[in-house]
């Protein structure tokens, strides 16, 4: 069972500052992904000459807002640190040389889950309608993509379980079929005979008559009576 929504890390920069690395909030993640896809298009590798600094600088807007320029960032972080920053900021699978690990390659190849095909506005609206955030700005500065998806999946599951419960009260099973258990044909026939054709349910009190009632030790005529309301 998963115990964490996302991976985290802590690194110490060259100036002694400790950064607690978690996935970027949506406000910064959107800019990060747009930049990442632009600099790595056509299969280019992310490196010091191709977008690494730009992506890391976007991450610093969340991790270390005082760092605003490339020059400032280069003074406090080496290349290995930069890879670590963007790895956790973008929740990416990267090797130390900036190449993608096998899991990341597999995720990218699945176009249905790609950033370009994600309807982020739809997902944000679904969470916004829960009434937790006053506006979309607050939502995007509060949640990462992983947190957003976790909330959506949990809320959808809760909604489904509620609908499933309400449906079961009406004898309907949302997973398919009826919530009533299948009755063995032989037991159904005996219930129909003992109840005089009133029911095929062997648990219906109307079927507890005659020999069945005597065997059970209770039933209609043995301390129990009933009124047919049909």
**Domain regions of the chain by residue span:** 9-113, 120-168, 185-224
Torsions phi, psi for 228 (to 5 deg): -80, 110
pLDDT at position 178 is 46
Q: Measured between alpha carbons, how far apart are the two ends of the chain, in Å?
A: 51
Per-residue pLDDT of 193-228, as tens digits, reads: 666 666 666 666 566 566 665 665 555 555 555 555
The SS3 assignment for 74 reads: helix
pLDDT at position 57 is 95
Q: Say how far apart CA 143 and CA 105 lie, in whole Å.
A: 25
pLDDT at position 208 is 59
Across the chain, what does the average pLDDT equal? 78
Tokens of 208: 């507890």
Closest by CA position to 89, among listed 62, 114, 67, 69: 62
Q: Say how far apart CA 227 and CA 230 lie, in whole Å.
A: 9
Residues in the chain: 230
Per-residue pLDDT of 110-162, as tens digits, reads: 444 577 788 899 999 999 999 999 999 999 999 999 999 999 999 999 998 88
Among 27-41, 85-99, 161-175, name the most confident range: 27-41
């Amino acid at each position: 069972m998963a115990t964490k929504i996302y991976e985290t890390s802590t690194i110490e920069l060259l100036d002694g500052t400790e950064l607690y690395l978690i996935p970027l909030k949506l406000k910064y993640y959107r800019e990060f992904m747009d930049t990442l896809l632009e600099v790595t298009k056509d299969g280019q590798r992310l490196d010091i000459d191709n977008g690494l600094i730009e992506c890391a600088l976007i991450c610093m807007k969340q991790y270390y807002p005082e760092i605003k320029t490339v020059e400032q960032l280069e003074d406090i972080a080496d290349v290995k640190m930069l890879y670590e920053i963007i790895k956790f900021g973008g929740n990416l699978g990267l090797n130390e040389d900036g190449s993608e690990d096998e899991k990341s390659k597999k995720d990218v190849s699945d176009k249905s889950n790609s950033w370009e095909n994600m309807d982020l506005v739809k997902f944000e609206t679904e969470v916004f309608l829960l009434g937790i955030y006053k506006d979309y700005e607050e939502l995007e500065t509060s949640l990462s993509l992983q947190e957003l998806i976790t909330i959506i999946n949990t809320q959808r599951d809760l909604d489904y379980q509620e609908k499933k419960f309400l449906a079961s009260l009406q004898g309907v099973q949302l997973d398919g079929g009826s919530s009533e258990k299948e009755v063995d044909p032989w037991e159904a026939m005996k219930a129909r005979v003992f109840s005089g054709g009133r029911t095929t349910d062997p648990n219906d009190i109307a079927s507890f008559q005659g020999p069945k009632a005597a065997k059970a030790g209770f039933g209609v005529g043995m301390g129990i009576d009933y009124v047919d309301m049909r």
